Amino acid sequence: MQKVDNPYRSIEAKVLEAITETPTIKTIRFRPAEPFGFKTGQFIEVTVPGVGEAPFTPSSRPSLREEMEVTVMKVGKVTARIHELKKGDTIGVRGPFGAGYPIDEFKGKEIAVVGGGCGLAPLRSLMYEFFSRSGEFKKLSFRGGCKNPQELLYRNEIDGWAKRDDLNLRLTVDKGDPTWKGNVGVVTTILDDLDMDYPRAIAVVCGPPIAMKFSTKKLLELGFKEKNIYLSMEKNMSCGIGKCGHCRLGTYYACKDGPVFTYDKIKNFPSIWD
């Protein structure tokens, strides 16, 4: 993993491609001027010159150091400008920051990956990592949900995942349409058949706070242990390095101690699902 010598130093990066994923989400593929490593689950700060900076968790392969991708939902000033980027434009990137997923601790275990909406972005990077180390884990299941079929990220790619022997995959949408043949309902409705040794299994959950809240509740009901449920807490951030206090989460700074936390560490803090 790249060591961050000066965390404030932004590296110039050239946009290679802007891919429209859904009506509100785009993936930006870019090439940093220097190779840029990250561990899956860590985040980077992306600067759009003249507009500002925002944190994103790369959605690309952690092993790919020459190019990276971020998948961005348009919600405000910086993300709106990111949606206007085109091939050849220049952005800045700094990081990586935070702790990421402790993949080595998952070896030999059954793993359930549960994602919703834009949460599928960091989970794609995680799934690449799992696929590249296939065989190290006992069982791998993926459960993904989103509002409707048009909002499903990486649809073609995920169709490919469905054919893998080393993955048990199910998808759901809150509201179907005539093209949709899968489950209809929120993501918690497709967790019952995970069929795992729940007290020993690992769950990785990423998505909108409401989806993470109810997925965690369901996983606990199934028998998952609090210490085995990994959540990605995307709190408002500024410095990214534990200095400004913007991302405070109880006794932690989400930027430095997270953004990935196990549920037992944060469950008693107020407003973790806000």
211 contacts which partner out of ligand FAD, ligand FES, none, CB within 5 to 8 A by kind?
A: none
Question: Is 244 an interacting residue with respect to ligand FES (CB under 6 A)?
Answer: yes
215 binding ligand FAD? (CB under 6 A): no
Q: Which of 24, 148, 150, 238 binds ligand FES (CB under 6 A)?
A: 238
**Site size toward ligand FAD, by CB under 6 A:** 22
Q: In this structure, which long-range contacts are made by residues 172-177, counting pairs with CB atoms below 8 Å and at least 24 apart in sequence?
A: 172/143, 172/144, 172/145, 173/145, 173/146, 173/147, 173/148, 173/149, 174/145, 174/146, 174/147, 174/148, 175/147, 175/148, 176/148, 176/149, 177/148, 177/149, 177/150
By beta carbon distance, the residue nearest ligand FAD is: 76
Task: Verify binding: residue 247, ligand FES, rule CB under 6 A.
Answer: yes
d(CA 194, CA 226): 17
Which residue in the set 79, 125, 172, 216 belongs to the binding site for ligand FAD (CB under 6 A)?
Answer: 79
Tell me how many degrees the CA angle 79-83-89 measures, rounded to the nearest 5.
Answer: 105
Site for ligand FAD in 221-260 (CB under 6 A): 234-237, 259
Per DSSP, 9 falls in state P
Contact residues: ligand FAD, CB under 6 A: 43, 54-57, 70-73, 75-79, 118, 121-122, 234-237, 259
Contact residues: ligand FES, CB under 6 A: 237-240, 242-247, 253, 255
